[in-house]
Amino acid sequence: QVQLVESGGGSVQTGGSLRLSCEFSTWRYRSYCVGWFRSGPGKEREGVATIDSDGTIAYRESVKGRFSISQDKAKKILYLQMDSLKPEDTAMYYCALDKVGYCDGTPDETRDGMDFWGEGIQVTVSS
């Protein structure tokens, strides 16, 4: 079992920045896919960004150029730097881990393959 704990959420105004962190209880898999997902009010959970053990990165189209995903394996932390935030980015953000294989497809397409999820953290962007 792997525990994932998100931190760094909060409330900002349009154009502001936040950095989310996701700490993993263990990071021992040779091949994996990790990522950030979000659920906005009344919306289905959607993929935001993913990165795998090969370092391959994928972003949701609407966050390209504004969000950046990175990983620190030594510290067992996954990050999501979010700049130029918009009200439509308001959501509960979750980190997740697929412990077998690589990220295959868009972030949305990796969602159902994730094995472990964090509890989520709220991000609110006001206009």
> Tokens representing 46?
């959607």
pLDDT in tens, 26-64: 888 889 999 999 999 889 999 999 999 999 999 999 999
> Tokens representing 18?
């936040």
For residue 111, the Cα-to-chain-centroid distance in whole angstroms is 11
pLDDT in tens, 63-109: 999 999 999 989 999 999 999 999 999 999 999 999 988 998 999 99
Q: How many CB atoms lie within 10 A of CB 38?
A: 23
**Start-to-end CA span in the chain (Å):** 40
